[in-house]
Amino acid sequence: MAITWVSGSIFTIPIQWGSFEITREVNTEKTFSSITFKVANDDAGFSFYIDNLSLVASVEDLPEPVIEEETITGAYYAMRFPEVGQGSAYECPIFAPYEEAKINNVFVAFKEAITGADGNYFSLQLVNKGAAGSGTDKIVDVPFVSGEDATANVMKSLTVNTSYNAMVEAATVTLKKVETGSGMKMPEGLIVIFWNSNISLA
């Protein structure tokens, strides 16, 4: 039976099959998603295919340092931050969920290794500034003292303070470098935030 399909039209085919398969492929740049449906081994001994049914992913032209990806359990947000020299403090907004949210996990990867030291070090913080931009609650506060090290280009898990990780709508989170003593250089790196939306803050 020959069937001609015109884009945009809808048709049904009475068919029986012994197996049904759906495959999905995503290109390396994650800008294109291809879905293939395959129905095989029908009762008449024929195979029926719908090939190359492709969907173009919804891709926005975001600034290069920013990646945001929806997942089944929530979402993650990643952003590069600059090197900040010894003796210099730093604070910059890096994350602002569009609704009530909870930050569950935070990871950081530095371009260069860090060897913690007592007396002169820096602390890496994520600060919940709230909707008004004046909050001081620390979602993450990691002092790079002796024993707190980081390997170059390897993700390091940062402890999340669950007393402050719930965020109201339109809240902002800043990445902050705080110096102790004469401080320490903070290498360029990547911060990754795993979060969930639509939570109850009651």
Q: Which of 76, 22, 75 shows the shortest CA–CA distance to 50?
A: 22
Percent of the chain with pLDDT over 90: 50
Longest Cα–Cα distance in the chain: 81
Query: Half-sphere exposure of residue 187, counting CA atoms within 13 Å on the CB side?
Result: 18
Same domain, yes or no, for 174 and 80?
yes
For residues 194 and 15, the model is more confident at 194
Query: Which pLDDT tens digit goes with each residue over 6-19?
Result: 444 444 444 444 44
Residue 28 has pLDDT above 80, yes or no: no
- Asked if residue 202 is part of any domain, the answer here is no
Same domain, yes or no, for 51 and 89?
no
Say if CB 195 and CB 104 are below 8 A apart: yes
DSSP per-residue letters across the chain:
------TT---------SEEEEEEEE-TTS--EEEEEEEE--TTS--EEEEEEEE--------TTEEEEE-SS-EEEEEEE--B-TT--EEEEEE--SSSEEEEEEEEEESS-B---SSSEEEEEEEEEETTT---EEEEEEE--TT--B-TTS-EEE---TTS-EE-TT-EEEEEEEEETT---B--EEEEEEEEES----
Same domain, yes or no, for 188 and 94?
yes
Residue 68 has pLDDT above 60, yes or no: no
Same domain, yes or no, for 115 and 74?
yes
Q: Which of 138, 145, 155 shows the shortest CA–CA distance to 122?
A: 145
| Residue 29 pLDDT | 54
> Can you tell me the mean pLDDT for 34-47?
47
CATH number at residue 80: 2.60.120
Q: Which of 142, 153, 81 shows the shortest CA–CA distance to 116?
A: 142
* pLDDT bracket for residue 170 (50, 70, 90): confident
Same domain, yes or no, for 76 and 49?
no
CB-based contacts of 38, cutoff 8 Å, min separation 6: 20, 21, 22, 23, 47, 49, 50, 51
Q: What is the mean pLDDT of the chain?
A: 74
User: Of 59, 84, 101, which marks where a domain is finished?
Assistant: 59
Query: Which pLDDT tens digit goes with each residue over 126-165?
Result: 999 999 999 999 999 999 999 999 999 999 999 999 999 9
Residue 2 has pLDDT above 60, yes or no: no
CB-based contacts of 145, cutoff 8 Å, min separation 6: 116, 117, 118, 121
User: Of 38, 59, 80, which marks where a domain is finished?
Assistant: 59
For residue 191, give its domain range: 66-197
Same domain, yes or no, for 6 and 30?
yes
Same domain, yes or no, for 32 and 89?
no
* pLDDT bracket for residue 77 (50, 70, 90): confident
Same domain, yes or no, for 41 and 124?
no
User: Of 59, 84, 109, which marks where a domain is finished?
Assistant: 59
> How many domains is the chain partitioned into structurally?
2
Same domain, yes or no, for 17 and 34?
yes
For residues 24 and 144, the model is more confident at 144
| Tokens describing residue 127 | 């600060």
Same domain, yes or no, for 30 and 72?
no
* pLDDT bracket for residue 37 (50, 70, 90): very low
Q: Given the DSSP bridges, would you call strands 121-130 and 137-143 parallel, antiparallel or unpaired?
A: antiparallel
Residue 168 has pLDDT above 80, yes or no: yes
